[in-house]
Chains A and B, each alone.
Chain A
């Protein structure tokens, strides 16, 4: 059987979901699909059921914080793997900081349970429909989400470690 490539995947997904595919790019050979967050659950479910795309493996779920992206501060990234085609790709959904909800995919992949709990623990992304969305690595009474960019590491004694020395320009300093 011939293996499908990035382009085949993109075409198939676009044909099925049309305008829900907001953006796409190839990053180091891996297809990135930006989708409407509300459609991501349906998309993953469809990909999982699909006979030829057959995306059978959830590699991981990550979140990324981009404080400067207004109204799309948080990205939730699903890295998926289709073994039949040996193709990895990402589905990304961007969420605004005051509407941090996305449907849980624990009903599709049992392993999403802890991955989503970890993402919630670090970034505060609420996975609606998750059976048990609690903190997992940090203590239960922690009152903030530590991986967000506003919580900088202390580096208490270091004056040489502000962002200017990390190749970034920032207005905060």
Chain B
């Protein structure tokens, strides 16, 4: 704690301390999460969070659902980047059953996951702009995110809760329209993004507002098990994509941006740079997209095409077995993690050989780092607390599960 902060806390006169409810600022402070602040004038003396208002018992639900029916649950964790959750879960199951995934599927997954990361970071960063008073930079990126959602739609039919992919691959290959839209996105997005960047990154007002707001040191961030952009903003270059590469991330050349002060500005800048790196990864993956099938040869888990079910005995049998839960599932214990929009999103799965998981735990980065929020805003003015909340990107769905 800095000396200035100690002074503020010591000088606080109990008679001047007011207890107030924080917000509404963030969409979720309209009722999903509550922060009770004790303030002396503008300075926050202490705060207490209540979470759990959209707890939907996903871990309990998962114990009663076959593996393929858990994918839609994962949509609703971090709904700003659902495909990462979906694909992370599918990879967990694939690890349990030990299946080799074709290179093409891995590259397709990388493209989709990086698109999701861009969408996620775009929203987070433009919301930081809103909370610093810059509304234009919020509306502007939405037209870009729209293009990403159109790409999701082309591949999965859905936009927000995508239920993307299947155990073993994708439900369909990239369509000609997808190729066209992706090419045009790769061409137009960088320019639009740099325009967005130029509105905020070196904007004097924005910098004055965000520098030093809600800082956290690398040591504290590590002690709190931070991950993702929030940890990297504090100067620690931990990224699951590099530490434990999955889905062929080792094939791509990209850098892990880190910050210095762990404050709102650094978190913003780290996310901005990650968006540029994501574009680089997508370009590499797309330009080198291998030939092949869009799914693994996995008849026990991957539903056959409907036309085959009607005309082919074997396909009918597999269809029946998958739907009725007759598939052999190995017993075992796996942990698989992916770099989600907010950090290390992990799936800890225990199977006893039954049709559903015996136990499934989601490691939700939001839930883990949100507990540091009171420490980050202590001694700060309320306006900085608002910025800090949006810059750590708390997604209520992921927070409460």
B134 contacts partner chain A, Cβ-Cβ < 8 Å: no
Interface locus among B217-225, B269-277, B314-322, B379-387: B217-225
Category for how many chain A residues contact B: 35 or more
A15 contacts partner chain B, Cβ-Cβ < 8 Å: no
Q: A122-B59, A136-B52, A153-B61 are in contact. Are A64 and B354 (CB under 8 A)?
A: no
Contacts of A32 in B (CB 8 A): 333
Is there an interface contact between A168 and B222, defined as CB atoms closer than 8 Å? no
Per-position binary interface string of chain B over residues 344-376, scored 1 when its CB falls under 8 Å from any chain A CB and 0 otherwise: 101010101111101101010001111110000
Per-position binary interface string of chain A over residues 16-53, scored 1 when its CB falls under 8 Å from any chain B CB and 0 otherwise: 00000000000110101000000000000000000000
Is there an interface contact between A60 and B368, defined as CB atoms closer than 8 Å? yes
**Which residue from A137, A152, A165 sits with its C-beta under 8 Å from B52?**
A137
Is there an interface contact between A167 and B355, defined as CB atoms closer than 8 Å? yes
Q: How many whole Å from A16's CB to the nearest CB in chain B?
A: 23
Contacts of A88 in B (CB 8 A): 244, 335
Q: A56-B222, A113-B371, A146-B57 are in contact. Are A83 and B243 (CB under 8 A)?
A: yes
Is there an interface contact between A153 and B350, defined as CB atoms closer than 8 Å? no
Q: Among residues 151 to 172 in chain A, which have CB atoms less than 8 Å away from a CB atom of chain B? A: 152-153, 155, 161, 163, 165-168
Per-position binary interface string of chain B over residues 226-243, scored 1 when its CB falls under 8 Å from any chain A CB and 0 otherwise: 100000000000100001
Question: What CA separation (Å) do A154 and B223 show in the bound complex?
Answer: 39
Is there an interface contact between B372 and A110, defined as CB atoms closer than 8 Å? yes
Contacts of A115 in B (CB 8 A): 225, 368
B30 contacts partner chain A, Cβ-Cβ < 8 Å: no
Question: What CA separation (Å) do A162 and B337 show in the bound complex?
Answer: 31
Contacts of B392 in A (CB 8 A): none
Q: Among residues 241 to 267 in chain B, which have CB atoms less than 8 Å away from a CB atom of chain A? A: 243-244
A144 contacts partner chain B, Cβ-Cβ < 8 Å: no
B51 contacts partner chain A, Cβ-Cβ < 8 Å: yes
Q: A137-B51, A137-B52 are in contact. Are A28 and B224 (CB under 8 A)?
A: no
Q: How many whole Å from B357's CB to the nearest CB in chain A?
A: 10
Contacts of A122 in B (CB 8 A): 59
Is there an interface contact between A153 and B333, defined as CB atoms closer than 8 Å? no
**Which residue from B95, B223, B354 sits with its C-beta under 8 Å from A168?**
B354
Q: How many whole Å from A173's CB to the nearest CB in chain B?
A: 14
**Which residue from B64, B346, B353 sits with its C-beta under 8 Å from A167?**
B353
Per-position binary interface string of chain B over residues 50-70, scored 1 when its CB falls under 8 Å from any chain A CB and 0 otherwise: 011001010111011000000
